[in-house]
Amino acid sequence: MYRICKSLEIENGHMLSKHPDKCRFPHGHTRRVEFMLEAEGLDENEMVCDFKIIKDAVGDWLDTLDHAMCMNTSDPAYQEFKQRYGERVIGFENQDPTTEVMARVIHDHAAAALAAYAARSDTRYRLAAGVRLTRVRVWETTSSWAEYEPSH
């Protein structure tokens, strides 16, 4: 089995309405998002896939989280923030946008985006059929991360 990892960084804020301490207030993180992909064999270029594919497939969507505030839609302040900052406020339906939840959301979006990329015929780089996204790791600080890997 071959594995690769591509990291992308975003500046991202969140509020954890269920948190008993300081994390319930708006605060931000420099997040490193790692995408781990694997394949049993290598493509015609002796790669799992070109690293550019990951950026091409998920970069624009991930940018929507950059310099955005992620909030629980049931947080009493959500509507005010949304009205004031519009698309820069990302709602998480009745759940706190913890790093664990963000890892799952990013994984699910990236898996769908990579599948759509693989189905396209107009791309510069080819994504082989056997390549799969195995997990996403989201760093909250330089010493803390959360990871999501779906059970198969």
Question: C-alpha 98: how far from its chain's center?
Answer: 12
Residue by residue, pLDDT tens for the chain (152 residues) are 999 999 999 999 999 999 999 999 999 999 999 999 999 999 999 999 999 999 999 999 999 999 999 999 999 999 999 999 999 999 999 999 999 999 999 999 999 999 999 999 999 999 998 999 999 999 999 999 999 999 86
For the sheet containing 27-39, what is the strand order?
89-92, 68-72, 2-14, 27-39, 132-141, 144-148
Query: Do the beta carbons of residue 31 and residue 140 sit within 8 Å?
Result: yes
User: Per the structure block, which two tokens stand in for 122?
Assistant: 């107009």
> Using CA atoms, how far apart are residues 33 and 68, in angstroms rounded to an integer?
15
User: Per the structure block, which two tokens stand in for 23?
Assistant: 């994390």
Give me the amino acid identity at 20. Answer: P
At the topology level, CATH places domain 2-148 in: Tetrahydropterin Synthase; Chain A (3.30.479)
Give me the amino acid identity at 61. Answer: W
Domain ranges, ordered by start, for the chain: 2-148
Predicted local distance difference test score (pLDDT) of residue 11: 97
Give me the amino acid identity at 3. Answer: R
